[in-house]
Chain A
Amino acid sequence: MPVCGPKLSLCGLILSVWGIIQLALMGIFYYVHAVALAEDLPEARHPHDPDSLKDFYTDIDRGYTQNAFNCWIAALLYVVTLALSAHQFWANNRSSLSV
């Protein structure tokens, strides 16, 4: 049974396809520690002297891995959204055809 209208389901469909592709890719980039994404990491302990650099690096590494998994989680959520909106889209199509 259709819950959301044809426009909303189409919107969800497009958004989730985009989300899956982009977030999956971003997950990979985080996983390989892409420098371009260095500004988009959780807060790391700021190093004050060369000795604390090690902590800083572990924080950054952890952040990269964490973000990679977060991206994939979000991508998975979009897979769910995709399934939902696809079902809604299909239901809408069918109900509009049967009328």
Chain B
Amino acid sequence: MKIVVPLKVAASPDESAKIEGNALDESSLEWNLNEWDTFSVEAALQLSEAHGGEVVVVSLGGDEVEDGLLTALAMGADRAIQINVEDETHKLDAISTARVLAKAVESESADLILCGVMSSDGVSAGVGTALAALLDLPRVAVVNHIDYSDGQLSVRRELEGGLLEEISLVTPALLTIQTGINEPRYANLRGIRAASSKPREELTIERLGLDEDALADGSATVQALALPPVSEGAEILEGDAQDVAARIAQIIKSKVGS
């Protein structure tokens, strides 16, 4: 079976992060393979190890994307597709990202596409579901267990409160993968270096026949980025640990009445 795994290399701002216009200043960002996507790559690898097949990883963005793809290749993916996006526009929103991915992977005719539920930076949780719709694939969102046999998928969806729903569907299909579904394997650094010899295809949005400007407009326009308002709620308890503990003890006793 062929499994396509779209990946995101997600940004995490450090404590010095400053807002510049509608975005964060680039120098304060650290880029890492999105946590959810490590689980979807692992899920894909486990399926291909059990049933044979190929795992293709695909990602779009700037230079930072390469490391994420190499990490996935080092974990065991067979092939990578890197879609280069111009710097100013590479913060495509979820729907635009899905449009680009749809163009890039439709020719792959994958049996299964596995996305992470969401990314740690954008937290939209929209790419997978939008991609499935654009490719007209059946989908299940927030999956934490997969059984596969002969084109039949039997999966579990993780609902609120820990309730699980069991669902069956047929491939080709798209699943969005929840953390905790497996233990993503470690991609060692020699492996990541060696992974650069695995097949990698580089594409651009233009080559995919899409209009960058239209995509950049996307499904929403960022008006502002700000620090969240300081909450009035929390009264900060001052003093050393002893004082704090004493106050906490007092609050507990008054509220719980022990």
Q: Do A and B bind each other?
A: no
